[in-house]
Amino acid sequence: MTVRNGAPDAHGARVRGIFSEIAQRYDLFNALSSFGIYRSWLTRMARVAACTAEDRVLDVAGGTGDVSFELCESCPPASIELTDFTPEMLDVARERIDAGANQGVPVSLAEVDAHALPYAGASFTVVTCAYGLRNFSDRTRAMREAARVLKPGGRYVVLEFGTPPNAAWRALYRVYLNHMIPFIGGVVTGDRAGFEYLRDSIKGFPPQDQVARELKEAGFSQVSYENRTGGIIAIYRAVR
C-alpha cells in the first residue's frame, strides 16, 4: 500500500531528494560510520519498545526497515506498518521483506508524511521513529501526530542523535561529525553534499532535555530517555 499526503515543502523535498539518492547504500553507511555499534542501538531500542504479540506498531521514518526488522527478531508484534517519506528507501525495505527479514511478522509498507499520518486516532499501541525527528520540517507537529494515532497507554519510542554531556567527548564527537561523516558518506554513496546536510542536521538538533520537554508539550506523559555511547545517541520513551 502507498499513501501520499500531497507535495512536500522545500525542506521535505530536499530531504526526500537526499535519501532517494543514497537509499541503496544507506545501510552500508550506517554500519561503517558507527563502526557497527548502531546494531546495539537498535537492539536496545527494541528492548525499550518491549513489544508483545498483542501490539500493533507504526514505524515512522522507517527507511530501509532496520527498526521494524529488529522488532520482528527481538520482540515480534502482531503487525507493523513500516512507513517512510522516500519511496526508494521503502524499495530497499521491500527487498529485505522478500528475503525474509520480517521473520513471518506481517509488515506493510506505506509512503507517508509524518506530519499528517493517514491513520485514525488510537490506531496503534506502539509508534517508533529512528533518526527521523531531526529531519522533519516541524518535529512538534510530527510528535503530536504520533500521540494522536496512539491508543491511551501506548508507547512512542524514538532513537535520535544526541548531545554528549561530557565536554571532552562532545568535542571529539564534533570533530568526527565535521570531517568523517561527509567523508565516509561521500566514499560510500558518492553524495558528499547529502551527508554534509546530515551532519548539519545532527549538529543542529537540540539536546536531550529539550527533546524530552517537547515530547511532554506534544501530549505525552512518563517521558524518559537514556544515553547510549556517551550520549551520541539517545533513546526516548514516552507514554500517550
For 37-76, the pLDDT digits (tens) are 989 999 999 999 999 999 999 999 999 999 999 999 999 9
Nearest to 149 by CA among 212, 90, 218: 218
pLDDT at position 57 is 98
pLDDT at position 182 is 81
pLDDT at position 22 is 67
* pLDDT at 2 > cutoff 70: no
pLDDT at position 23 is 64
pLDDT at position 201 is 84
pLDDT at position 92 is 93
Q: Where are the domains of the chain?
A: 10-14+36-161+206-239
pTM: 0.89
pLDDT tens-digit readout, 215-236? 999 999 999 999 999 999 999 9
% residues pLDDT > 70 (the chain): 91
Q: Which three cell numbers stand for residue 212?
A: 524530552
Cell 554534509 locates to: 196
Burial 161-188 (b: 16+ CB within 10 A, else e): bbbbeeeeeeeebeeebeeebbebbeeb
Number of Cβ within 10 Å of residue 31's Cβ equals 14
* SS3 call for 6: coil
pLDDT tens-digit readout, 148-202? 999 999 999 999 999 999 999 999 999 988 888 888 877 777 777 777 877 888 8
pLDDT at position 106 is 98
Average pLDDT value for the chain: 90
pLDDT tens-digit readout, 17-43? 677 666 667 777 777 777 789 899 999
Residues near 156 by Cβ (< 8 Å), separated by ≥ 6? 126, 127, 128, 129, 143, 146, 147, 150, 215, 220, 236, 237, 238, 239, 240
pLDDT at position 12 is 66
Q: Which listed CATH number (3.40.50.2300, 1.20.120.530, 3.40.50.150, 3.30.420.40) goes with 10-14+36-161+206-239?
A: 3.40.50.150
* pLDDT at 140 > cutoff 90: yes
Cα 13 to Cα 8, 18, 85, 87: the distances in Å are 5, 9, 10, 13
